[in-house]
Structure 1
């Protein structure tokens, strides 16, 4: 049986017709008709999560697992605002998140009624579309409700995907579940436009006229990279292709980008004259600064929405199209083109940097912990997906990982990293082990990710704890502030041991190299999970280890 609320039933019916199979549901009374419908619907599997902020990132992680839209349903009031960080991350990562909020009737907004705020447009501008459904009383209003839901679902799936917000006012009574069947709603199918192949071939032809062509690949989901793998490998023969582990789904050592740039410094001969930028954010600040000084005759952006994301400050063209389509056309155009000296020049510096990297043995630090983690993964032939936290963690992962890295790089915030990994692990619990590597502030800020009845045993967490925001010890000049440690870097003495006990998570710890080695052996061979290994280091040693590392190049 379903709710008697018509707008809720129209919404539920269209979610099913759109093929939505997963919903993250949060507690509340005003959203109970929606939650009831989602749970009662045999085609949708529901995952209860109490903390809305964590729930938003949990749902985001699930979208990464199968690249399909996921619903998150919250009640009225500030509950919706707690989803804003996940909505922003999904917006900049192009992830298909359908955020459904229950709302109070319009006449009671701003009348000092409980859990009542202005909800329509509350998540803008970080959603692709916002709609507020009517509570229909006639056929025209039912048509309007149907149309709005169709528009929102289509916007969620358009141009690579993105978050949308569906706001649902619901009047009392709330708890009547006497409707036998969902209505047979009209589904409006959107057919996306395709790129103009001839025009893109012409742009590609001009691109390869350059003496120093370079292709930069920003963050892309592994399915997209995998589909374009053959094209990317073909392009490497005629152009310099730079990709971090956020855009590299092949099992091989990460490209030593920052290390090479440290060697090159400001040598203009390494700067491209023709540049193609595809995908989302890149982590390397050095690369961005280096390319912003390039004088490119041709600088092309590929963006599925057609946005001019002029990251390197010299764009000449924007191609609205899918990365796989554009890379395929460029690879076809590259056939028969001779290898450029520019490619050999960059290959040489990458090879030298890689050789130096392999010889470096850091002091005990987070740098050493991440290096040892990846080395042991290779030696033990461990297979699993990697989720990194932002800031220092993902930068270390980009140095040592030889496989794809998931990271919330849309907004680059520390919140939600653990929740995203938990959501992915739950969605993949029968297929993949998931390893989450993150810093202490990211972990403790998002510890409610573990307050989750869906928590699955395939999750392993490597927690890098140096007692605060370690990256703030690496920023030149910040040490002159007497408030760096207490107010800026959030210095603390917190441990995850008690949190693990509360949530029945196997807890391991390491304070030196011997304990790190033994801890990782137990970590990878744990028979029960989830498991967490907390690696304690000092921020001073972490900063010095990183400084020593880059001074080696």
Structure 2
């Protein structure tokens, strides 16, 4: 569906609807109203969403509840402001108690029209109490790319909470209702204006919504046949193929710090990505476990040239985001593809970037990565076209075929070869007259035999000539060894070939390590200078204070 740029409200509503569709929404129940006009128009215009109008809010809510119960996917409920949303209350309670995914969108008046008797206005914040799995009061629509990212990620989180509730992704999910309250300012109809024109060049739909499809694949996993391996295998492949990536470890207090640090170090070594560790992360207390640890990232990113060179394409974000403003501004400017690793149900992305939340601990992620690596090695050995080990076996087979052909040709050239197929092996003895004729030919062959000593003299000279001949085999041995070493190196070349995308990552890792070393050297030099200065001042003060 093309994004509607006619005005700010139309753009806001179309982004919301398009995000829901890419996450897997197929049905929306619309209760007509004035304040919900932008939402109604956006749902009605989308070709891949069935928008069903129902006049009575209570009937509409239970109708949506029945569809969601039958399909197992969230269904959207849309209503205007005021008491219209209150009519959804019984269905929201039923959805919570029966664990049915339901997404309630209530339109509302902007903050300046609250608590002033503006008409058809009530307090809709936490309208349904504690029954929703999650609820949020969204911002007023704005024609700004960062606010559109905020809207997209909020909708993604709402969809996830409707599907999985408040339990981590690795546990049994509890679907339920989610409430989003959306305030809109006038004009509510899609009246064209020029405020959204600059966004037409900034907003690229395919790039803007690209990660929503992956989120939908992860969210559609069923609890009864729960298997993360296909999704995790695809994610791990993306990480390994990334040219530049970093791991960000925020503040954490794990129960077992060493296992936590070991899991991050193993992931860093596997991907060859640097680890940017927050000061409150236990990684700094176990720095000997991870040679790729970067602790001075805040100072490094203050250099614009280094910040541009070290710009990542993919980021693994473990736990909360560090408090460094330089790091946050750098990530917000780069807009990399990000994965948040945390077992909680909270939204840990204050930047609202292209983020996918993996609801698992970093220790669980380490187990997944290890298992997927083992499985990938098994698959690589079974691949016929891509495995150089099988290419080496093919070369051996080809050589065996050549040797067999030689044997067949020798047998075909043999004078007794014709007797073998006919089973005349017993008749071979009479055919042994050839040795007798050979004995008769020996007198005639005595001349060549007498000549052989003459030929042996040049043969004795041949060793002199054979030395270069012997050198040729010596020279040929490296030549012969090259194919052999090439065939032997083909299996080893598979690993560099598979790691060719990661060959850029060590360069990226090397840049980070070099920057870390330079910053640390500068800090050490500054501290040495300051200590020398302080020692002189302290000595002078002591000389003035102490009696002679």
- Which TM class, normalised by the smaller chain length? 0.3 to 0.5
More strand per residue: 1 or 2? Answer: 1
Q: Which of the pair has more CA radius of gyration? A: 2
Give the TM-score normalised by the residue count of structure 1.
0.33
* TM-score normalised over the length of structure 2: 0.34
